[in-house]
Amino acid sequence: MNKQNWHSNGFALMMGLMLLLTVPALAQDKQKAKEEEAAYTEVVKERAEKIVVTLGVTDPSQGIRVRDIIAQQYRNLRDIQGSRDAEIEKAKKKAGDNKEATAKRTKAIEQKTDAKIARLHTKYLSRLSAELSAEQVEQVKDGMTYNVVPITYRNYLLMLPYLSGEQQETIKSFLVEAREYAMDGGSSKEKHAWFGNYKGKITNYLAAQGFDLKKEGANWAERRNTNSDVLEIAQSNRVAGTLRLTDDIQKEHVRNLIALQYQRVQEIQEERDAKMDATTQLPKSKEERDKEAADIWAKYQVYFASQRNLFFQTLSAFIDSSQVETVKNEMTDNRLQEEYSHFLALLPGLKDDQKKQVYSYLLEARDNAMNVLDEKGRLNWFIKFRGRANNYLSREGYNLRKATEDLEKRLFVEREGQQ
């Protein structure tokens, strides 16, 4: 064998050996890719199936079609975004250290990808709408975005229960808009980033509406700590517990509102008392200081009434009128019925119009008692309006002293009869 033939044969042998090594490696890579694709198919199928389960679809074949539409959307998004990432990486290598060129090329790639995703988004929703109702399509969107919209919206309503209808709609629209982008995100991080962006817009909107979100957030954090022994938590737990609500979401809205009412009463009370105390330092006569204090008291009674009305108006969206009455009575130690029952026992012959008048005095007592945080203060309001009811009944011709003596005798006879 001459030298040339030897080199030629040696090269061929080497190439043959390389081919023998390469073919199995390529086969292994191909098999690995196939296995990874099969695993991904199972993942997106399972992910889609979990969403379909929430839709209430009763036709099995329809359920499979919807599942496949959702799963294919995940696959399509992965392909488009994977291609985007590969193009960007290639552009970076080509540009080298030229950051300006890299940024320009990257922006162009992203814009092209966004346009593809937008077209895919439209087609996807069209395919879903052919199978599902509008409400079910909304559920699919929520399922693809970890239910961030309903959860976050509910949290805003818990933090700020007194938002106007317009404010609620604005917040909801921001979250829904964020969801349209988030559902096309390629990762959990990307999806949450979209919501984070729109939460910033909501924060700016609410600040412009006059909300102190730092304060409101801190107050809400206190209300969420249901194991705390502070007054607003202990009382809201107790009062809400008497309603025996079974729906957890309803229960939390009601408990949260009650706790907020105690917080607001405390804030108004502290502000009023501070201004009342300040009047004692004024360089004025006692009569002038007393008049100013009376004006402050009257002004804050209006504030209390306004807050109380807002509280019950909002609470009525979650519970019925009889349950609202229960809340009022529980927040005032159930004294209304106790006082009214006493009047009925004291004067069995009361006429209907007289009963109505007495009850109205006690209702007014309860309203005022709701503006007080301590039991003694609440009792004082009932004592005050009990006096007004007594004066009214005296003018109606009733001898309350004799009626009291007669009631005591009746009660004594009843006790003796039970022994």
For the chain, domain boundaries:
44-130, 145-211, 231-321, 332-418
| pLDDT value for 17 | 62
Strands (E), 219-258: none
The secondary structure of residue 245, as a DSSP letter, is: -
323 near 243, Cβ under 8 Å? yes
* Burial of residue 48, with CB atoms counted within 10 A of its CB: 0-12 exposed, 13-18 middle, 19 or more buried: buried
Of 261, 408, 417, give the one whose Cα is nearest residue 332.
261
Of 174, 177, 179, give the one whose Cα is nearest residue 201.
174
Q: What's at 222, amino acid-wise? A: E
The span from the CA of 274 to the CA of 300, in Å, is: 12
Residue 246 CA: distances (Å) to CA of 37, 251, 311, 319: 45, 7, 22, 12
| pLDDT value for 38 | 77
Of 118, 170, 138, give the one whose Cα is nearest residue 54.
138
Range 8-46 burial, b when 16+ CB lie within 10 A, else e: eeeeeeeeeeeeeeeeeeeeeeeeeeeeeeeeeeeebbe
Round the average pLDDT of the chain to a whole number and report it: 92
| pLDDT value for 6 | 47
Dihedral sign from CA coordinates of 30, 32, 36, 41: positive
User: What digits encode the pLDDT tens for the residues 331-373?
Assistant: 999 999 999 999 999 999 999 999 999 999 999 999 999 999 9
Provide the whole-model pTM. 0.85
| pLDDT value for 61 | 96
